[in-house]
Amino acid sequence: MSNRKTSSAYVAALSLAWAAAACGGRDSLFLAAAESSSAGASALGGSVAEAGGASRAGASNGGGTSRGGASGAAASNGGASGAGSSNGGAGGALSGASGEGGALQRGGAGGAGGSTCPSATAECQPVVLADHQNAPCGIVVDASNVYWTSGDGTVQTVPIAGGQATTLAAGQVNPCGVAVDATRVYWVNLTLFGQVMSVPLSGGPPTVLADNQSYPYNIVTRDGALYWTNNGNAIRGAVLTLPINGGTPVVLADNQLHPGGIAIAGDTLYWTSFGGGTIRSLPLAGGVVSTIATGQGNPVSLSVVGSSVYWTSDGTGKVAKAPVGGGQAVVLASGADPSGLVADERNVYWSDSYGTVERVPVSGGVSTVLASDQISPWAMAIDAHHVYWINDADNGVGAVMKIAK
């Protein structure tokens, strides 16, 4: 099994890492980043809060396997295919995917496997909302739809109850982090001279809101403004903001060591610093950067609920939390390679790129596997009833998934 942390092909210099990233897409970027770090340089761009998985250039990590080496061709739950059956009456999954039978995927995509829900009802089984995807990267949900970016250069949407996927924008270069408001979808194109983009919810010509950004990675929106992380080249990254209608980007925090995951809670902005192993925050209006936690390996995704910040770290294999004002970090769970993360008032949910989606109470305790046999599950989203995630594999075996909480 090979992934970006265990590969022996270490890159000796940062310049080589970024050269590889420029040629090979976002997964080459993150692979080169982690390997450069292992060679004694600071980690690059590894803050993959919504990324990871097969290379957008067409070659997956480990020479043909998806990120984390997760096996393809996972059998559907119970072997049932039940084309078009719904998830507890929530609507059928696409392309003949089985809601009740565990989301059968074509072409050997292990979209959904076993669940440890208390009952064996359809509601407890993972459901494919969209299959035949190519290295999906970011995901977000509103009251009606799921939106995601894909390695084939598209931004797509599908009803949360299931149905036909719609392409909102095409021809993008490495689209990754994605956000949504009442009228538009926003995303970043993860390249050396990347863009912040938007498109109406109904589709149409994309609008460039900001250009020449250095590997913009993740994005959120609040009250008419956009906030995003520039993963940065060499050793620097930044956190920036911009009105949703465009203008001149304002740097809120610079000289960050490859910021990646980003979240808003109250009047505060939070982010992970993959290269620095830190969780940080800043008032939305700007001001002094506060460090919430240090020594966290390679923190990836984060979520803020109530008085706590939760995050995953693929450098330590931990799911952890700390008070929003800083303090002792508490480990909630350990895993092989935790990546995406979301939380609500009761539980923390995360994906492990080796193939599971899990949850643990916010106070700690026993972890529960909600879905197994996934192919590189990565970025996540959440609403009142379901958890959503992407299976970040290329060659048409990626997927957009959901399961009841």
Sort residue 88 into left (φ over 0), alpha (ψ -120 to 50) or beta.
left
3-state secondary structure of 25: helix
Q: Say whether 78 sits in a helix, a strand or coil.
A: helix
Q: Which CATH number fits domain 134-394: 3.40.50.1100, 2.120.10.30, 2.60.40.1730, 3.30.1360.40?
A: 2.120.10.30
Task: Give the ranges where 258-383 is alpha helix by DSSP (H).
Answer: none
Name the least confident of 103-107, 149-153, 230-234, 291-295.
103-107
Contact between 149 and 137 under an 8 Å Cβ cutoff? The reply is: yes
Task: Decide if pLDDT at 111 tops 50.
Answer: no
> What is the structure's pLDDT at 124?
84
pLDDT tens track for 46-55: 333 333 333 3
Q: Kind and range of the H or E element at 140?
A: strand 139-141
Give residue limits of the domains in the chain.
134-394
Q: Other C-beta atoms within 10 Å of 224: how many? A: 9
pLDDT at 94: 26
pTM of the model: 0.75
What pLDDT is recorded for position 248? Answer: 96
- Whether residue 35 has pLDDT greater than 70: no
> What is the predicted pLDDT for the residue at 233?
67
Q: Are 163 and 91 in contact (CB under 8 A)?
A: yes
Please check whether residue 286 is in contact with residue 269, taking contact to mean a CB–CB distance below 8 angstroms. Answer: no
pLDDT band at 14 (very low <50, low <70, confident <90, very high): very low
The confidence score (pLDDT) of residue 161 equals 96
Q: Which amino acid is at 99?
A: G
Cα distance between residue 8 and residue 160, in whole Å: 41
| Distance, first Cα to last Cα, the chain | 30
Pairwise pLDDT comparison (381 vs 76), residue with the higher score: 381
Which ranges in 12-125 belong to alpha helices (H)? 14-38, 61-64
- Give the model's pLDDT for residue 232: 86
Per-residue pLDDT, 117: 54
**Sorting pLDDT into bands at 50, 70 and 90, what band is 93?**
very low
Residue 251 is predicted with a pLDDT of 96
Average pLDDT, stretch 78-99? 31
pLDDT of 19 strictly over 50: no
